[in-house]
Amino acid sequence: MDKKGFRSSVLKEVSLIENRAVDELWRQVEKLPQFVSARTVLTFWSMPDEVPTEEFILKWSGSKRIVLPLVVGENLVLKEFSGKECLVSGYKGILEPSVDALTVAPDEIDFAIVPGVAFDVNCNRMGRGKGFYDRTLPLLKCFTAGVGYDCQLFERIPVDPWDVPLNAVITPSRQIGADL
């Protein structure tokens, strides 16, 4: 199956998931030593077919510096989260920080939570095909964790030479990767 067909199949499965698994997924992330020690966390404001991040972001924004991506052209610009009221509708209707929000350098990130359509046991991720994270991940010098539902984790997914593997993949029932 090609990447486009694979994406479509996985996203259809994700749409059937009940959100009860979400709480367990975030508990898994919050227990990671790399997250516990992190002061600056890059995450994402979720799309409807992704693991919901809003409650997680709001919970931790009082004690950690939360950073969200802003799509600018073909790249992600990292911006400091300063409250839901400061987000604007951006790329594909995703809530993003405004261009006026404080820009954060990639080397300031201590821990990155990365979305994906699918992941595999070798910590490869498949995004939506635009390469935003594949261009951003090499700039980060921190622990990177993909988050998804159990149905998004496979033994093997199609990868290309430019796809950047993560340090870990976290689902509600599994933690896979280095240093776990």
Query: CB neighbours (10 Å) of residue 12?
Result: 11
Tokens 């479509």 correspond to 8
Structure tokens at 12: 């259809």
Structure tokens at 176: 């896979």
Number of structural domains (the chain) is 1
Domain containing 124 — which CATH number?
Answer: 3.40.50.10420
User: What's at 54, amino acid-wise?
Assistant: E
Query: CB neighbours (10 Å) of residue 77?
Result: 17
Give the 3-state secondary structure percentages of the chain, helix then strand then coil, rounded to 5: 30, 25, 45
Work out the pLDDT band at 12, boundaries 50, 70, 90. Answer: confident
- With a cut of 80, say whether residue 20 has pLDDT above it: no
- pLDDT tens-digit series, residues 115-173: 999 999 999 999 998 989 999 999 999 999 999 999 899 999 999 988 889 999 999 99
Distance CA(17)–CA(11), nearest Å, equals 10
- E strands of 109-174, at which residues? 111-114, 118-120, 125-126, 143-147, 153-154, 168-170
Domain holding 152, by residue range, is 3-177
pTM of the model: 0.89
Query: CB neighbours (10 Å) of residue 21?
Result: 16
Q: Residue 143 pairs with which residues in a beta bridge?
A: 111
Report whether 56 contacts 68 (CB < 8 A). no
- pLDDT tens-digit series, residues 57-114: 999 999 999 999 999 999 999 999 999 999 999 998 999 999 999 999 999 999 999 9
